[in-house]
Every structure is written in structure tokens, then in C-alpha cells.
Structure 1
Amino acid sequence: MTKKTLTVRPLEERTEAPPLQKRGRGWNIGEKRLDAIHEMARAMKREPTPAHALLAEKFAAQELGKYRLHRQVVIGSAIVDFACQPLKVAVSIDEGGDPAITARRDKSLEAVGIQLLRFPAADVLADPDAVVTTVIAAMKARWEERRARGRARPAPSARQGYSR
């Protein structure tokens, strides 16, 4: 029996990400693989790294209103350390790993409109308050973009209302 290994094709050989399938199911991912990804995210949530635990504690202390950062969120086939899905902001803590896989994941997240903020674990441990400030500033900027888009829509005219 041969063992399958994961390989990453060079960026030049890859095509665009396929369109999203049904809600919450990502990029045409098999059910078994998606279940395995969710189980991996649960395991990562149960056993956080020191940088992840510190940043989670700092985010929990912030007053973010209805826009919360959730830990170990599955987006497509990627697991991000923190995400605010209504604002489409995600945070990833770099703790090593294959840069080719990381670049591919970042590209696929950005293709669907997710703003990914990446921080080295050493920076998180050295100055977590600066990381929190950067993330909150990005969330506020996305919120302002959403608000500006909402205002840009034309207001309904008086004729479009109900007649009595």
C-alpha cells in the first residue's frame, strides 16, 4: 500500500480558485476532508500555542461590539487563528511551516475577499498590544468600507414608498 503525500504545484501552474459551493462548505471540498479539517481546528483550539493563547486573551479583553474574533476558524480548506467573518478579516500567527502552502492559502483567502493579517509568533509574544492595535485598526477600516458602501446606495424616492 502506497502512502499519498501532499504536494504543492508552483504558483505559475495553478489556476484560479473554483467558485464557492454551498454555504460554509468552501471550495468543493470532500465531506471527509472537510470533517478532518474541522477536527484539526478543534484540536488546535484545545491545545493553543503560547502566542495563540496570549493573543486570544488580549482579544477577549477588547470591547469589539458585535464584531468578535473567533479562534481557529475554518475558511474553505484553510484554518486561520482568528477571524471576524462579517468584516472578512482573518489573523494568522506564523509559527513556521512550508512557505509554498502558506502562500497558496493566502492567495485563496484573498481571492474570496478575506483580508489576512499575518504576524510572526515572536512578534506576538514580544508585543501583543501592538498586534491587537493593528488588528483592531484593520477591523475598523473594513467596517468603514462597509458603511461607506451602504451610504453609496441611492436612497429610495418618495414614490417608491407605500401609497395610502
Structure 2
Amino acid sequence: MTKKTLTVRPLDERTEAPAIEKRGRGWTISDKRLDAIHDQARRNRMEPTQAQKLLGEKLVEANLGKFKMTRQQVIGSAIVDFACNPLRIVVSIDEGGDPAVTARRDKSLEAVGVKLLRFTATRVLEEPDAVVAEIVAAMKASYDERGRARKQHFQTRGAPPRREY
């Protein structure tokens, strides 16, 4: 009897993100695997690390306006530490782990249009205010970029029709 081991393919073998399909809430993921990922995210929310706990508290204190950062968000087959879905920004705290898996996950997230901000756990613990300032700056930049894209879209297509009440 041979024992199967999990292997990670090198980055250059897979150049594109997985195609969005009608399975696994938009990704090619089996329901069983997706349930396991959501269970792991739930466990991570219940038992946050010191860096996650501190950054979460600092993000609550920051004035994020109408946007919020959700903890331990599942995106595809990845679990990110914090995510702002409307602005398509995710924050990941690097606390060790396999760099090949991390690089594949990061590449897959960026390929579907998600901006990834990665910080080391020691940096979050040593200078949390600077990390929050970088996150807020990225959120503002994304908001401004989306506003410009929306404005340009309406200039080329015309304004949306107004409703008469």
C-alpha cells in the first residue's frame, strides 16, 4: 500500500486563475472541500493569533467609513485574514507557512482582481498604526479608482436613466 502525499505544483505550471464555474460558489471547488475550508475559517475566527487580534482591534478603531473589514474571509479556496469585498482588498498576515502555497494563493487572488496586502506578524505587533495607515491608504486608493472608472463609464455610455417617482 502506497501512501499519498500532498504536493504543490510550481508557479510556472499554472499561469491563470481557476475559471469561474457554477460549482463551489463560483469556483471549481467540491462542496466537501468548500465546507472544510469554511469550517477552518470558523475555527480561525474563534482562535485568532495575537497579530490578528491586534490588527482587528486597530481596524475597528480606524475610521473606515461605510466599508468594513471582515475577518477570516473565504475567497475561492483561500482563507484571508481580513477582506473588504466592495473594494476588493484583502489583508494577509504572514505567520510562516509554506512559501510555495502562499505564492500560488496570492497569484490566484490577484488574477481575479483582488488587491492583496501582506504584512508579517512581527510588523503588525511592533507598528500596528503604520500597518493600519497602509491599509486605509490602499482602501482610499481603490475607492478613488473605482469612482474614476464609474465616472468614465457613464461619460462614454451616458448617464443612467432617472426614475420618475
Task: Tell whether the structures are fold-level matches, with TM greater than 0.5.
Answer: yes
Q: Could you list the runs of 5+ residues in structure 2 that have no partner in the other structure?
A: none
Question: What is the identity, as a one-letter code, of the residue corresponding to 1:17?
Answer: A
1:7-156 map, 5 Å: 7-22=7-22, 25-153=25-153, 154=155, 156=158
Aligned length: 160
Q: Could you list the runs of 5+ residues in structure 1 that have no partner in the other structure?
A: none
Contact 2:94 2:120 in 1 (8 A): yes
Identity across matched positions, percent: 62
Write the distance in 2 (CA, Å) between the matches of 1:4 and 1:27: 25
Contact 1:26 1:77 in 2 (8 A): no
User: Cα offset for 1:21?
Assistant: 2.1
Question: What is the identity, as a one-letter code, of the residue corresponding to 2:107?
Answer: K
Question: CA 1:13–1:151 in structure 2 vs 1: closer, same or farther (change >3 Å)?
Answer: same
Write the distance in 2 (CA, Å) between the matches of 1:111 and 1:54: 29
Write the distance in 1 (CA, Å) between the matches of 2:40 and 2:162: 51
User: Cα offset for 1:23?
Assistant: 8.5
Contact 1:87 1:143 in 2 (8 A): yes
User: Cα offset for 1:2?
Assistant: 5.5
Write the distance in 2 (CA, Å) between the matches of 1:34 and 1:24: 7
Q: Using structure 1 for the length normalisation, give the TM-score.
A: 0.90
Taking only aligned residues, the RMSD between alpha carbons, in angstroms, comes to 2.0
More moved, 46-55 vs 13-22: 13-22
Question: CA 1:68–1:161 in structure 2 vs 1: closer, same or farther (change >3 Å)?
Answer: closer
Please list the CA deviations of residues 80-119 of structure 1 after superposition, one character each: whole Å capped at 9, or x if unmatched.
0000011000000000000000000000000000000000
